[in-house]
């Protein structure tokens, strides 16, 4: 490949115009492939169909992707390495997941797997999580292949299964079994960041994900004395588990500050022209709407009871009872979480870890962040990038185990009145066509230069 600096502005504009058209079709096509992730169930069958589609779109332009299988013939992904102009530069990992959460069609105004383009949006499950980013990546690297464009450094591209169920059959498997794919990689870019939040007509905040909370999914088991429901029973497993659940659900976790959240709150305060009270940020969070709930959850550890199970008949006291807890931990405050949960649960209840994964926090400054900011501002003069943390988890947790610095940057220009965060796993998930076109231009510039 030859670097694009040798081509004319007209050629660059033509290339990007084709990529903008390409990305809309690719997004719609990917949505039409039902990649609902039902975990290890036999119903999870669409990922390999999507992987085959992606591989074929890349082969069309002369690339040589590898379609790989992970834990079974049904769980599959795609990888391709794009050579950079500087062979001595460390490589960048660019990743997206192909699976989506299930959708109930009766709840939607548009068929969730129809990929319909209507009213300026592409509608369907995965439109923002994250087949839009998958399509942007494909559109950009297809345009590079057609026009012999090389990025500055090698880019390892990955399209993965199983992110929506914890990445056991995807990113984690790949890290454990195919480490050669990541040779030379020092940084990674995936979801969730780079979307616009309109402050005013000439100012839009673009959160860039630099951190995410860790996962602690727990099952609590209480054992007691089984017996007849009409009898006095001071050793009732249901009462014991219910009391523990109430303590956990009602616990006021203390606020804890990390570099990412401190920086994000300061950037928010600057954007809105208010005082940055980092200890009492309620006024700032209210301005963010739904995103404020997410940011609020990154200011403390959390533990939410989510499941209860006990007994089989009204008049029988069961001998054991169970509860499920979804715990999320801030980077640096993992030990505090473990100790607090043990204290809240109390004696006589077994804590069974079900799913545990790391919290992570990448550097808030550096050339990679600078290139993201430059690409945003070049395409939106009102762009104001800021680092932030998400309360959930992504495939980045697997890649961080290899020492890779992980970021979320899926650039989208969103309409001011569209509640971006309600679209994630929500009904009538959709992505604006103009947002996709904007994202292609930003991603193209960022990836070529970074």
Count of structural domains within the chain? 2
Q: How far apart are CA 446 and CA 104, in angstroms?
A: 37
pLDDT score at 6:
42
- Assess whether pLDDT exceeds 90 at residue 40: no
At residue 209, the 3 state secondary structure works out as strand
* Res. 45: pLDDT tops 60: yes
In a domain, 120, yes or no: yes
Domain annotation covers residue 375 = no
In tens, the pLDDT along 381-431 reads 999 999 999 998 999 999 999 999 999 999 999 999 898 888 888 999 999
- Reported as a pLDDT band with limits 50, 70 and 90, residue 2 is very low
Q: DSSP per residue over 189-203, as a string? A: EESS--B-EEEETTE
Q: CA 344, 347, 353, 354 torsion: positive or negative? A: negative
Structure tokens at 238: 């249901």
Query: Sign of the C-alpha dihedral, residues 357, 363, 368, 370?
Result: positive
Distance (Å, rounded) from C-alpha 430 to C-alpha 21? 17
Residue 46 — pLDDT band, cuts 50, 70, 90?
Answer: very high
Burial of 335 (0-12, 13-18, 19+ CB in 10 A): exposed
For range 31-36, the mean pLDDT: 97
Lowest mean pLDDT segment, chosen from 9-13, 358-362, 374-378: 9-13
Instruction: Give the containing element (helix H, strand E) for 282.
Output: helix 282-286
Co-location of 413 and 328 in the same domain: no
Mean pLDDT lowest for which of 20-24, 89-93, 261-265? 261-265
Judge if 241 and 175 occupy the same domain: no
Ranges of beta strands (E only) in 2-112 are 66-69, 76-82, 91-97
Q: Which pLDDT does position 286 carry in this prediction?
A: 79
Q: Tell me, what's the pLDDT at 39?
A: 85
Q: Are residues 177 and 284 in the same domain?
A: no
Residue 162 resides in a domain: yes
Domain shared by 140 and 221, yes or no: no
Is residue 21 domain-shared with residue 117, that is, in the same domain? yes
Q: Are residues 188 and 218 in the same domain?
A: no
Query: Per the domain annotation, does 217 fall within a domain?
Result: yes
Distance CA 84, CA 344 (A): 53
Domain assignment of residue 373, yes or no:
no
User: What is the CATH classification number for the domain harbouring 296?
Assistant: 3.30.70.360
Would 186 be classed as within a structural domain?
yes
Mean pLDDT (whole number) for 134-145: 97
Share of the chain above pLDDT 70, in %: 97
Calculate mean pLDDT across residues 24-40.
96
Q: Look at residue 271 in the predicted model and tell me its pLDDT.
A: 85
Range of the domain at 340: 213-357
Tokens describing residue 220: 């609590």
- Tens of pLDDT, residues 127-139: 999 999 999 999 9
Instruction: Indicate whether 333 pLDDT > 60.
Output: yes
pTM: 0.92
- Quickly state the pLDDT bin for 65 (edges 50, 70, 90): very high
User: Do 218 and 181 share a structural domain?
Assistant: no
* Residues 166/40, Cβ–Cβ less than 8 Å: no
pLDDT tens digits, 280-316: 777 777 777 777 777 888 999 999 999 999 999 999 9
Q: Is 290 within the bounds of a domain?
A: yes
- For 211-249, write each residue's pLDDT tens digit: 999 999 999 999 999 999 999 999 999 999 999 999 999
151 in the same domain as 47: yes
- Where does the pLDDT of residue 377 fall: very low under 50, low under 70, confident under 90, or very high at 90 and above? very high
pLDDT band at 370 (very low <50, low <70, confident <90, very high): very high
Q: Crossing angle, helix 433-449 and helix 131-147, to 10 degrees?
A: 50
What does the mean pLDDT of the chain come to? Answer: 93
CA distance 204 to 267: 12
Q: 186 and 223: one domain?
A: no
Q: What pLDDT sits at residue 252? A: 97
- Residue 362: inside a domain: no
Q: Beta-carbon neighbour count of residue 201 at 10 Å?
A: 8
User: pLDDT-based confidence at 10, cuts 50/70/90?
Assistant: low
What's the CATH code of the domain at 435? Answer: 3.40.630.10
* Overall size of the chain counted in residues: 450
Neighbours of 203 (CB within 10 A): 15
292 and 175 within one domain? no
Same domain, 267 and 128: no
> Residues 179, 235: one domain?
no
User: What does the pLDDT read at residue 12?
Assistant: 83
**Burial label, 424 (beta-carbon count in 10 A; 0-12, 13-18, 19+):** middle
What's the mean pLDDT in 49-78?
97
pLDDT at residue 22, rounded to an integer: 97
């Amino acid at each position: 490949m030859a670097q694009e600096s040798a081509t004319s502005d007209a050629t660059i504009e033509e290339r990007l115009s084709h990529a903008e058209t390409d990305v809309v079709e690719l997004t719609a096509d990917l949505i039409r492939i039902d990649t609902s992730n039902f975990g290890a169930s036999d119903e999870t069958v669409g990922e390999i169909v999507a992987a085959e589609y992606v591989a074929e779109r890349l082969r069309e332009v002369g690339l040589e992707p590898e379609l790989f299988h992970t834990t079974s013939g049904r769980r599959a992904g795609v990888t391709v390495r794009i050579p950079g102009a500087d062979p001595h530069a460390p490589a960048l990992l660019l990743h997206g997941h192909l699976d989506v959460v299930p959708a109930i069609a009766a709840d939607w105004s548009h068929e969730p797997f129809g990929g319909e383009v209507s009213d300026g949006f592409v509608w369907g499950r995965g439109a923002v999580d994250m087949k839009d980013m998958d399509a942007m990546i494909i559109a950009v690297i297809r345009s590079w292949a057609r026009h012999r464009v090389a990025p500055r450094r090698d880019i390892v591209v990955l399209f993965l299964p199983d992110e929506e169920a914890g990445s056991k059959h995807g990113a984690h498997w790949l890290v454990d079994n195919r480490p050669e794919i990541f040779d030379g990689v020092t940084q990674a870019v995936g979801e969730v960041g780079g979307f616009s939040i309109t402050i005013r007509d000439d100012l839009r905040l673009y959160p860039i994900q630099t951190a995410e909370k860790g996962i602690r999914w727990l099952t609590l088991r209480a054992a007691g004395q089984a017996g007849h429901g009409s009898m006095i029973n001071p050793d009732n497993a249901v009462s014991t588990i219910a009391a523990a659940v109430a303590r956990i659900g009602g616990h006021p976790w203390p606020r804890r500050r990390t570099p990412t959240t401190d920086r994000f709150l300061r950037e928010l305060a600057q954007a809105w022209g208010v005082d940055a009270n980092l200890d009492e940020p309620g006024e700032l969070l209210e301005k963010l709407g739904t995103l404020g709930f997410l940011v609020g959850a990154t200011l403390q550890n959390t533990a939410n009871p989510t499941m209860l199970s006990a007994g089989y008949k009204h008049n029988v006291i069961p001998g054991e009872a169970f509860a499920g807890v979804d715990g999320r931990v801030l980077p640096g405050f993992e030990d505090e979480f473990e100790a607090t949960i043990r204290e809240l649960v109390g004696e006589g209840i077994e804590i069974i870890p079900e799913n545990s994964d790391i919290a992570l926090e990448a550097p808030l400054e550096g050339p990679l962040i600078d290139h993201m900011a430059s690409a945003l501002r070049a395409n939106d003069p009102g762009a104001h990038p800021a680092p932030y943390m998400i309360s959930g988890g992504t495939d980045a947790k697997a890649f961080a185990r290899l020492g890779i610095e992980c970021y979320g940057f899926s650039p989208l220009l969103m309409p001011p009145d569209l509640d971006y965060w309600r679209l994630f796993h929500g009904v009538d998930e959709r992505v604006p066509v103009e947002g996709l076109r904007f994202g292609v231009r930003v991603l193209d510039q960022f990836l070529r230069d970074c």
